[in-house]
Amino acid sequence: MRVDGELQDLARELTETQTVESGTVEPVTIDSPDGLDILRHSAAHVLAQAVQRVNPEARLGIGPPIQDGFYYDFDVAEAFSSDDLKALEKEMQRIVKAGQRFVRRVVTDDEARAELADEPYKLELIGLKGGAESAAEGASVEVGAGELTIYDNVDPKTGEVAWKDLCRGPHLPSTRLIQNGFALTRVAGAYWRGKTELPQLQRIYGTAWPTKDELRAYQQRLEEAAKRDHRKLGRELDLFSFPDEIGSGLSVWHPRGGIVRGEMEQHARRRHIEQGYSYVYTPHITKRDLFETSNHLVTYADGIWPPIHMDEERDEAGNITKQGVDYYLKPMNCPMHILIYKERSRSYRDLPLRLAENGTVYRNELSGALHGLTRVRGFTQDDAHLFVTPEQLEEETTKVLEFVLSLLSDFGLTDFRLELSMRDDEKSKWIGDEAIWETATDALRRVARASGLDVVEEPGEAAFYGPKIDLKVTDAIGRSWQLSTVQLDFNLPERFELEYTAADGSKQRPIMIHRALFGSIERFFAILLEHYAGAFPVWLAPVQVVGVPVAENFADYLDEIAAKLRAKGVRVEVDRSDERMQKKIRNHTLMKVPFQLIAGATDKEAGSVSFRFRDGTQDNGVPVDEAIARIVEAVETKAHV
């Protein structure tokens, strides 16, 4: 249940005034987002209990719920194997069937240390409880800034404690509610508290759902997702690769992938220019002073690549005659766009100023976090920064959101929802004037609601420098992806002392809007690739048409048709290889070419072709002019065939 906004166990006692009728108590169902987190966190405890039953020497790390599942970290002498997972699932099932009760106990720091004396990682968390959120990912489920609690797993028949863990909770009333809708999925290595200098633990991942049917449906989605994995499709369709010689998380784009990326970028560029954006270009590297002024070297230090020391000069004796300077690969484009704004004085008549760039940035990601094109060390943001007056804020934000939705729709994405991130109640977690925050948040709320999309408000999730709207999209197999962000910023204009001359002649600070539409071009490409399972709409397909002659002597006829298509901007090839016709058709079907034009003697005599589509269907005897018109229309209308 949720009591006065706080999640609590059903076993907690309520006061006389705390009731459902009064609105202070709300039920939490197991299929709600909070309910699923509680289910999965409870399953994580059952996993940890099972591990220590099988291996009493295992030491416990952290076990939080995550999207679609949970994990738990363990310090063990030998790595887990797939066979171990099967044995652990059976042990978990025995614990589930036993119907152990989750019982909450408040303890002092000293009591917790005494009870958990054999758990070094738990002892460390007790010492870090005031800063659990920053201490380690998932640590906040174990300890917080308030009281310490231990959860006992109690045998319902004997009342004896079967197992216990340091935890904030809440949990299910009983392990029996986990039922049989859980499964362990994989094992991975994970550094304690995410720090490479600390011990590496074994992380077991699992998933849990309210019913076995929902578990099976999830597993089927995973199977479909595996077929659509952009890393697999990238190899099969010859789109991109990650050569070892270049380094982890750094991609190269092959000609076919380059075509798709080019179409994406060029279409977005045209749309931006129509919307009044000006394109700028900035370098990949800069002196440290810039990121000191922006404060990125403090607030984003772990994400920045190590410095490159340059410009130092020495005399013949080796003595330094000129001090060097540290340069950094840029993790963000915004400070450089700010310098463009500052290059000359600005008037209210110059605003809004909309600067856009496809700017490549570099992030010092841990190797274990890298994942194809969705998590890389070097990527290109379709970045834009808008400088507006307070009076322009709402109208400009509305235009930005409408533009985002329109442009993403061009790529065939239509299932959207919004999240509005608002400031934290604690003043120490945000900067600026409260009245400006309220005005800006209210403006974003009106903009979000006016879009007609579902809007979820997230208190405390804003960045310290301003509220934001995040746009989430659901793909073809029901997965949710965060794409565009519209972020308001009062901080950087202050730090860089940005000004404009208002209508009354006074000097005022502009408000800055950070806006990434794709987010990262690489990541957006990966999302599209998986959304379409590699079968891009015709306008994005690397090769839009392939001519397949029934015999070699009909290739010239198809070459004439191909020339007409090229004249209209269509990407077309004629397959003159030595393969048999059926093998050619199969090859191009596997490469997901939208249209195959097949021609033999009958077609040549009639001035026609046969269309073959991706799904194997065929349309025979189509006059050449009609075939060309069909293909051109499919490109222009962004059709998916």
The 3 state secondary structure assigned to 166-179 is ECCCCCCCEHHHHC
Q: What is the pLDDT at residue 14?
A: 86
Chain length of the chain: 641
* β strands within 256-352, DSSP E: 278-279, 285-287, 308-310, 313-314, 320-322, 325-329
Please give the Cα distance from 594 to 631 (Å, whole number): 9
Ranking 192-201, 379-388, 545-554 by mean pLDDT, the lowest is 192-201
pLDDT at 401: 92
Report the alpha-carbon distance of residue 226 to residue 214 in Å, rounded: 18
Mean per-residue pLDDT over the chain, rounded? 92
> Known catalytic residue: 514?
yes
The catalytic position among 129, 363, 523, 531 is 363
Instruction: For residue 294, give both structure tokens.
Output: 């922006």
pLDDT of residue 145: 60
156 CB neighbour count, 10 Å cutoff:
12
165 is annotated as an active-site residue: no
Catalytic-role residue among 40, 168, 256, 514: 514
Measured distance CA(286)–CA(326) in Å, rounded: 8
- Beta-carbon contacts of 395 under 8 Å, excluding residues fewer than 6 positions away, are none
SS3 state of residue 326: strand
Name the residue among 96, 114, 106, 82 with its Cα closest to residue 45: 96
Whether the pLDDT of residue 369 is over 90: the answer is no
Question: Which residues have CB under 8 Å from 377's CB, separation 6+?
Answer: 247, 248, 249, 250, 362, 363, 364, 365, 370
Q: Are 415 and 534 in contact (CB under 8 A)?
A: no
| Nearest residue to 477 (alpha-carbon basis) of 184, 68, 32, 188 | 68
10 Å CB burial of residue 124 (0-12, 13-18, 19+) is: middle
Annotated catalytic residue: which of 203, 334, 487, 489?
A: 334
For the chain, the straight-line distance linking the first and the last C-alpha, in angstroms and rounded, comes to 49
Q: Are 585 and 550 in contact (CB under 8 A)?
A: no
Residue 381 designated active-site: yes
Across-strand partners of 455?
Answer: 418
Indicate which residue of 468, 571, 584, 588 is catalytic. Answer: 468
Axis crossing angle, helix 33-54 with helix 82-98, rounded to the nearest 10 = 110
The residue from 73, 165, 383, 575 that is catalytic is: 383
363: annotated active-site residue = yes
Q: Are 361 and 303 in contact (CB under 8 A)?
A: no
pLDDT at 457 over 60: yes
Percent share of the chain, pLDDT over 90: 77
Q: If pLDDT is split at 50, 70 and 90, which confidence band does 385 have?
A: very high
pLDDT digit string, tens, across residues 349-359:
999 999 999 99
Active site residue 334: yes
Percent of the chain with pLDDT over 70: 98
pTM, whole model, 2 decimals? 0.82
CA-closest candidate to residue 123, choices 131, 132, 134, 114:
114
pLDDT tens sequence across 32-63: 999 999 999 999 999 999 999 999 999 999 99
Describe the chain by its helix, strand, coil percentages, rounded to 5: 40, 25, 35
Which one of 8, 49, 179, 381 is the catalytic residue? 381
Among 17-26, 269-278, 339-348, the least confident range: 17-26
Instruction: Give the single-character DSSP code of 375.
Output: B
**What local confidence, expressed as pLDDT, does residue 144 receive?**
67
Three-state DSSP class for residue 412: coil
Token reading at 321: 């005659």
Rounded (5°) CA angle 522-525-526 = 90
